[in-house]
Structure 1
Amino acid sequence: MTADSSTGTQGSYEPSVTDVLVTKAMLNKALRLPPEIIDTIVDFAEYWPHTTTELNDSTVIARGKNNFGNRPGTEDVFLLRSPPLGLHNWNRISRATDDSAIHRTVLKAQPPGEEYSVNDFQDLIASPISLLAQPCRRIVFTIRSHDQGWGGAPADHGTYNGSWTWFEVGLERWCKTSPAQTSPAGIERCCRANPSQASPAEQQPQPDNHPSLKLEDLCTVYPEVEWKSEAEAYVFRHDLYAHEDLKVQCNVTAQRDAQEHRVVWSYTDDIDPERDVEAATKLAEQGRGKATGSGKFVRGLKLGDVVTLWAKARFPAWANFVESVKMDVYYAV
């Protein structure tokens, strides 16, 4: 798995952050245009830097429950996460804090709380440019996968109807506070684990702290996190059915051969599934979630957000075989 910014392949050019900044400076010097006009020009040209995260040469299997039992968690398998959105110096900062590699850090079930501001990130990474609060412009998912190759209604074979293996997007975000840290249960667990630490009141995060930029400190927005009293821990809550606004792609039903899907989510998407039923239905016919054409997820991403991807499978004998996945996240600077 890799995560970086680079030029594109197959003849297409993908600019770096430096390329974009130089181009904007040239436009300013040559045309003396206001910054907001230059930003508009760059957006229309789709001249954005991006990060790429990939998982290759590894088959991941998400299995639905069957009559022989099911290992916990195999219905919902975490695949990969993107680097923090818009934080150009994150790799350098994260290495300085001895953070784990992005693909080796396990997700931590921690509910979100009070969020950081743009200035909190700006001051921390000392970026030479002003960081945007909501910089995401496009996410491209490239997925190569297939299901078990049989099952379901015969009429659904070879289509996306009746498919119970799919991929769903998730979201992580650094927060000043989290119920996992500040609730009485969370503080009590912390004290039991580290009795020599400061008092519970002193352990609560200070509201003026900067984000740590450590992956282990991320809170999870999607999937939702809930408290399990029997386990005395927060856990991820994965619903039985796919979320129509988070479902990236499902597999072709009863197709044993791997298929490659390229799914593009853009900040300019504007399909309202309730008002434009025909367009939403077409998305479903392509194996996507009906509500993923609204652009809401992309427009709602904030500076520092981390996008995750999950493989899903439901019901006995259904299996999601993942050969490779890639996420390209484009953002404005």
Structure 2
Amino acid sequence: MMLPFVHRLRGVRRPLDPAGNNNETGASSKEEAKTSENDTYYPSCYDVLKVRYLLQHIWKWKRDSEELFPCELVDMIVDAADYWATSESSLEGETTIRKDQDQVLLTTVPLCYAVETLRSDSPQVLPHRGAHPCRKIMFTISAHDQGWGGGARNKGPYDGSFTWFDTQIIHSAQKPPPPREEPIQEKQRAHFESGDPLLLPSAHKLQSNRTADKNTQLHRITWHYLDDIPSDSSEAEEIENSQGRGRATLDGSQVRALEVGDAIQIWGRARFGGWINHVERVVVRVFWAV
């Protein structure tokens, strides 16, 4: 029974990008991204539990002893190997976001919940380790702006970009919304006033589009629980200018703070006349410790 399992452990895994972000241009990069994702092996909860069982018992089997390998050391081995359970949420097909027409592009599966049970009265919690089990979040975004406009871009290719993406944490997302006597009439905001925190891209943005570039950009962004780049550092400033990421998203705090049941919403935004956020694809994969 162990042979198929051993074979699965030898599956292909994507090497991590040291910079935490990988930007590519053009339609071919989108197809390559899909191919790469299809070729990547992501373990299930059951896979991780089997590996943990083997690691704990191999000590007993090899030493002919009743003593199991310590759980703390198993945790360290599994985390060092990035061998975590995952869930994926995706948006396929083009979405166009014009001036001040902010839009939720997708909401991830609540952390550590089985997606097929979310509509039931008792959604199933999947195996996890600790109250803050999230270890890594991978974002893949294919998008571009209108292809013209913007300033001199003295700080890099993202300088002066007014099309971008934000994240929002939804707590206890596995719970159904409370019943309301009257339906909520959602109104589209027509204008963001000066001083509004959502008027311009902030240090907490997920990703900006390249400024005035009509070619589709493929952005791969990775948040890791061990990230530790302070937002006020020169390294954070360099990443923000060269990669278009928010400088306040580089310290890993967003990942470490996620709790079981939390979900992540991805917002697409555009500001000022003529600016258009052309979104072609968004994929979010969330990893958690078991």
- TM tier, smaller: 0.7 to 0.9
Q: Please give the residue correspondences for 1:177-216 in structure 2 after superposition, counting only pairs within 5 Å.
A: 213-216=174-177
Between the aligned partners of 1:86 and 1:318, the Cα distance in structure 2 is 37
Structure-to-structure mapping, 1:76-115, within 5 angstroms: 76-87=102-113, 89-92=114-117, 94-97=118-121
Partner of 1:104: none
TM-score, normalised to structure 1's length?
Answer: 0.65
Alignment map for 1:54-133 (pairs within 5 Å): 54-56=90-92, 58-64=93-99, 74=101, 76-87=102-113, 89-92=114-117, 94-97=118-121, 129=127, 132-133=130-131
Amino acid at match of 1:29: H
SS at match of 1:53: strand
Q: RMSD of the alignment, in Å?
A: 2.8
Find the counterpart in structure 1 of residue 223 from structure 2.
265
Q: Find the partner of 1:305 among 262, 265, 270.
A: 262
The 1:25/1:248 distance shift into structure 2, 3 A limit, reads same
Deviations 1:247-303 (A, max 9, x none): 1110010001111010111000001122xx211112212100011111010110001
Q: 1:28 to 1:214 in 2, by over 3 A?
A: same
Q: After superposition, what is the alpha-carbon deviation per residue over 1:127-149, rounded to whole angstroms, capped at 9, x for unaligned?
A: 58465210111111100000011
Report the TM-score when normalising by structure 2: 0.74
What is the aligned counterpart of 2:148 among 131, 147, 150?
A: 150
Contact 2:141 2:220 in 1 (8 A): yes
Q: Deviations over 1:21-69 (max 9, x none)?
A: 000011111122221211111001100111111111x22122225xxxx
2:1 is aligned with 1:40: no
Equivalent residues, number: 237
Partners of 1:248 and 1:289 within 8 A in 2: yes
Structure 2 residue aligned with 1:281: 237
Residue in 2 that maps onto 1:331: 288
**Long gaps (5+) in structure 2:** 1-11, 14-36, 60-67, 190-195
Equivalences for 1:218-297 in 2 at 5 Å?
Answer: 239-245=198-204, 247-274=205-232, 277-285=233-241, 286-297=243-254
**2:209 aligned partner, one-letter code:** N
Superposed CA deviations along residues 227-254 of structure 1, whole A, max 9, x for unmatched, are xxxx999999862122312x11100100
In structure 2, the CA distance between the partners of 1:21 and 1:155, relative to structure 1 (3 Å rule), is closer
CA distance in 2, matches of 1:232, 1:54: 27
**Counterpart Cα distance in 2 of 1:60 and 1:157:** 28
1:17 maps to amino acid: C
> Per the alignment, in what secondary structure is the counterpart of residue 158 of structure 2?
coil
Shift of 1:153: 1.4
Task: Report the alpha carbon displacement of residue 174 of structure 1 after superposing the two structures with TM.
Answer: 2.2
* Separation of aligned partners in 2, 1:153 and 1:238: 22
Match of 2:167 in 1: 169
Code of the residue aligned with 1:14 in structure 2: it is Y
CA distance in 2, matches of 1:235, 1:27: 54
Specify the code of the residue in structure 1 equivalent to 2:226: T
CA contact (8 A) 1:63 1:318 kept: yes
The residue type paired with residue 34 of structure 1 is P
Letter in 2 for 1:64: K
Residues 142 and 262 of structure 1 are in contact (CA less than 8 Å); yes or no, is this contact kept in structure 2?
A: yes
The letter for the 2-side match of 1:26 is L
**Cα separation, 1, equivalents of 2:269 and 2:75:** 39
Judged with a 3 Å threshold, the aligned counterparts in structure 2 of structure 1 residues 216 and 235 are, in CA distance, closer, same or farther, namely farther
Structure 1 residues 259 and 308: CA distance shift in structure 2, 3 A: same
Asked if 1 retains the 8 angstrom alpha-carbon contact of 2:107 and 2:266, the reply is yes
Post-superposition offset of 1:329: 0.6
2:273 corresponds in structure 1 to 316
Q: Is the 8 A contact 1:147 1:255 kept in 2?
A: yes
Q: Secondary structure at the match of 2:46?
A: helix
